[in-house]
Structure 1
């Protein structure tokens, strides 16, 4: 049984470890079925994608749309490393699930605009709707047509990338989940996150520009009180389908 490749971008140990544990728990993955790579610690090594059942890319505080001249050198390398594997993933239709930052990487690779012009969402739960195409997708079929997800992003995809299918939308952000080919997926929301995961991130990223730091306590209460149970089923289905 091939392992999944989990690529992480978060430079904070607590945030990266929490995200990794959430991927394992919500995806139903045993540690011996995963190869974990933290790009903040070392450049992406040479990879043979044939060795993996699929690739999962986590989120992070960086933005694809930030001015390259102003990016931290490690952040710039992390982004370049992620983008370097996308041509092979999309050309081969390799099972891929990009979470939050991953949708920016996929859309940017496909030539679509990713920017802060519109569709940023504050930290917290948001109601998402499954599109007609989404209702027929294997990862979403049979899920409720409307359910809450957890989000928090400064940038977003501004128009549907060419060659992709629009699977989910929210009022503030139309492109919450897309698919390229049959097996390359990306979400703007966090399919691995629950209230506690987000509460931890609110504390860790309190001063990273996602929200006014004075709102941290209220945001923490809001995410802890949220009823977000459906997104993890998407992650679990991805693992089950391709594992």
Structure 2
């Protein structure tokens, strides 16, 4: 298989403790060397055609300190860049913050909702459309996935299809109908050990969402191997 070039869009401050870990996580999930990932800082830079021409696929992950529900100027600039990405038709996989921001960029609705926040390992279920989807149909009808979010998508944008759901957050995964773009609220780039590392780096998540000590939370988390396969499956489906 050829070596693909990836553009990792990041939304993390320079001192974010997970900035480097996220790069390593995506490289492992894509089964590629970290050198194959070019990092793009969405906080300070506008996306252009030259950025997209230099890659085969775009990935967008989480955000340590930034909410998609913000009305700050930087986010509106970022939304313009992401609408440009959508218009380009470049193969893209977005998780967590990426899921939320692409939904908002395309006309969906995102809210801050601590009552429905998810942290740790949670089960999701394929919709009927998910069971027929070229990517998600390769997964079991229900599977475990790694979560860490307080915001959630409450309305999908037009021209998309819901692929996975659960009782806590109805919108867990969707695809753009006419574009090679998939989005998941959960983190298929993580493993159980990197999930633990991430929550340790943001201890306030345990305090605010799980409301239990980290050592108790750690024991409650389970491995989610089916979720961990999604990015490699996406690459084979869209790029091979």
Counterpart among 23, 28, 32 of residue 29 in structure 1: 32
SS of the aligned residue for 1:158 comes to strand
Name the residue aligned to 2:69.
65
SS of the aligned residue for 1:211 comes to helix
SS of the aligned residue for 1:161 comes to coil
So what's the TM-score if we normalise by structure 1? 0.85
1:215 CA displacement? 2.4
What's the Cα RMSD here? 2.3
1:170 CA displacement? 1.4
Counterpart among 69, 79, 92 of residue 96 in structure 1: 92
Q: Does 1:55 align with 2:51?
A: no
- Contact 1:177/1:187 (<8 A) preserved: yes
**CA distance in structure 1 between the partners assigned to 2:171 and 2:162 by the alignment:** 7
Question: How do 1:136-175 residues align onto structure 2 when only pairs under 5 Å count?
Answer: 136-175=132-171
SS of the aligned residue for 2:171 comes to coil
- Contact 2:23/2:34 (<8 A) preserved: no
Q: Where does the alignment leave 5 or more consecutive residues of structure 1 unmatched?
A: 69-75
- Contact 1:123/1:219 (<8 A) preserved: no
Name the residue aligned to 1:198.
195
Change in Cα spacing, 1:67 to 1:219, as seen in structure 2 (3 Å) is: farther
Name the residue aligned to 1:72.
none
SS of the aligned residue for 2:162 comes to strand
So what's the TM-score if we normalise by structure 2? 0.86
Name the residue aligned to 2:21.
18
Question: How do 1:75-94 residues align onto structure 2 when only pairs under 5 Å count?
Answer: 77=74, 79-94=75-90
**CA distance in structure 2 between the partners assigned to 1:87 and 1:66 by the alignment:** 17
For these two proteins, the number of residue pairs brought into alignment is 232
1:166-207 per-position Cα deviation (integer Å, ceiling 9, x unaligned): 111111011110111231111100011111111111111112
1:67 CA displacement? 5.2
**CA distance in structure 2 between the partners assigned to 1:39 and 1:89 by the alignment:** 12
Q: Does 1:184 align with 2:188?
A: no
Change in Cα spacing, 1:133 to 1:53, as seen in structure 2 (3 Å) is: same
Change in Cα spacing, 1:94 to 1:172, as seen in structure 2 (3 Å) is: same
